[in-house]
Amino acid sequence: MTGGRRTLVTGISGQDGSILAEQLLAAGREVWGLVRGDGDLGAAGHLRDQVSLITGDLLEPDSLTAAVRALAPAELYHLAAPTYVPDSWMHPAHYATAIAGATATLLEAIAAHSPDTRLLVAASSDMFGEAPESPQNEDTPCRPRNPYATAKLAAHQLVGQLRRHAGLFACSAILYNHESERRAHRFVSRKITHAAAQIKLGLADELQLGDTSAIRDWSYAGDVMRGCRLILAQEHPRDYVLASGVAHTVQDFVDAAFAHVGLDPAEHVRIDAGLVRQPEHTLAVGDPRRARAELGWELEVSFEALVARMVDADLRALGARA
C-alpha cells in the first residue's frame, strides 16, 4: 500500500478503530490494522481493500514488538483492549495482561525500535472510580473500583512514566462513554436503541433495564476519534480528557430513543432489579476544558443527534431483515 504517513491502529475491528481508520484514510494516511491470526476485521470489514493488516495479539508480547519493528509507524493508536467491565472480575489476570501488559510492551518496543513513533493510548474514565471530585480532569486523583479500571490506570501511568523517562511522544486520551451505530449490543446504549427500533417495528414489546438514574457522559465516537487525532498532531505530548462535560442519565437516553420513534417509554420499559448495580458515589462526568483550549476540539454531534443516529441505524438493519 502506498500513501501518506504510515499509521498503525490496534483494535481496528471495533467501533473506535473502524471509525478512526475511516478518518485516517480520508486524511490520506497509509493505514495498518493489527489483527489476530483469523484476520477478522469486524466493524472495519468494509475497509478491507483500503487498509493493510499485520498479525498481533495483546497476549503475545513478541507479536506486538515485531509489528512495531516491522512497520516503524509515524503514529500508533492503541485502542485494543477487553472492554466488558463485569468480565474483569472473573479474569483479572487476563485484563491486566491485555491492557497494562500490552501497553508496556508497545512502549518498550517503540523505545527500542521506533523512537520517533507518536503513540496514543486509549485510557478510560473508569480509572477515576470513586474520585474525590466531579467533573474529573487530567489531574484528578484516581480510585478505580474494578480490575478493568485498575489495568487502565496502570496503562495510563506507564504512558506518563515512559514519556518522562525515555522522552517518547506518548499520550493518553482519557475517554468517557462514546457511542455510535457500531456499538456492540451488550452495552446499554445499543440495547436501548435496538429495543426502541424493535418495538417501533412490532418485533418486541418491552425493554428491561436496571438503574435508569445512573449518570453517564456520552459523546459521539466519531468526535472522540477526531480528538485522538488532534492529540497526536500537537507539538508536545500531553494527556487529555475527551468528554462532553454534560451529565445524562440512562433515562435521558431512553427518553431520547423512544421519542425519536414516537413511543412512550413508560409503556414499554420495565426495571429488572437483578440488573441494578451498586450506586456510584462519584458522577462520571469529564472536564474537557484542556482539550477545548489546546486542541480546539468541540463536539459536532449532540447527545440527541447521537441517539437518533443509533436508532435510525437499528431501524434500517431490522427493516432490512424483516
Question: Is residue 86 in a domain?
Answer: yes
**Phi-psi category of residue 230: left, alpha or beta, with phi > 0 → left and psi -120 to 50 → alpha:** alpha
Instruction: Tell me the C-alpha distance between 192 and 261, whole Å.
Output: 12
- Tell me if 313 is assigned to some domain: yes
**Would residue 265 count as lying in a domain?**
yes
- Give the structural domain span for 13: 6-178+221-242
Residues 16 and 137 in one domain: yes
pLDDT reading at 320 higher than 90: no
Q: Is the pLDDT of residue 2 over 50?
A: no
How many whole angstroms separate alpha carbon 53 and alpha carbon 65?
15
> Domain check: are 191 and 44 in the same one?
no
Higher local confidence (pLDDT), 87 or 121: 121
The predicted-structure confidence for 120-140, as pLDDT tens digits, reads as follows 999 999 999 999 999 999 999
Q: Residue 78's closest CA among 173, 179, 217, 148? A: 173
State whether 250 and 263 are in the same domain. Answer: yes
pLDDT tens-digit map of 141-189: 999 999 999 999 999 999 999 999 999 999 999 999 999 999 999 899 9
| 204 and 174 within one domain | no
Q: Are residues 207 and 257 in the same domain?
A: yes
Same domain, 132 and 226: yes
Report how many domains make up the chain. 2
Tell me the mean pLDDT in the region 59-74: 98
Q: Are residues 96 and 200 in the same domain?
A: no
pLDDT of residue 96: 97
Q: Is residue 226 part of a domain?
A: yes
Q: Are residues 207 and 149 in the same domain?
A: no
As given in the structure block, the three cell numbers for residue 207 are 425493554
3-state secondary structure of 291: helix
| Euclidean distance between CA atoms 24 and 50, whole angstroms | 11
Same domain, 173 and 47: yes
Both 126 and 260 in one domain: the answer is no
Q: Is there a single domain that holds both residue 269 and residue 170?
A: no
The three-class DSSP label of residue 120 is strand
Say yes or no: 89 and 159 in one domain. yes
Per-residue confidence (pLDDT) for residue 259, from 0 to 100:
98
pTM of the model: 0.95
The answer to whether residue 133 is domain-embedded is yes
Poorest-confidence range of 2-6, 129-133, 220-224?
Answer: 2-6
CATH of the domain at 306: 3.90.25.10
1, part of any domain: no
Worst-scoring range by mean pLDDT, 189-203, 251-265, 275-289? 275-289
206 near 269, Cβ under 8 Å?
Answer: yes
- What pLDDT was estimated at residue 38? 80
Confidence of residue 1 (pLDDT cuts 50, 70, 90): very low
Does residue 290 sit within a domain?
A: no
- In percent, how much of the chain has pLDDT > 90? 89
- For residue 121, the model assigns a pLDDT of 98
- Identify the CATH number of the domain in which residue 107 sits: 3.40.50.720
Question: For residue 293, is it within any domain?
Answer: no
Statement: residue 3 has pLDDT above 60: no
pLDDT over 90 (residue 4): no
pLDDT tens, position by position, 6-57: 999 999 999 999 999 999 999 999 999 999 988 889 999 999 999 999 999 9
Q: Does residue 83 surpass a pLDDT of 90?
A: no
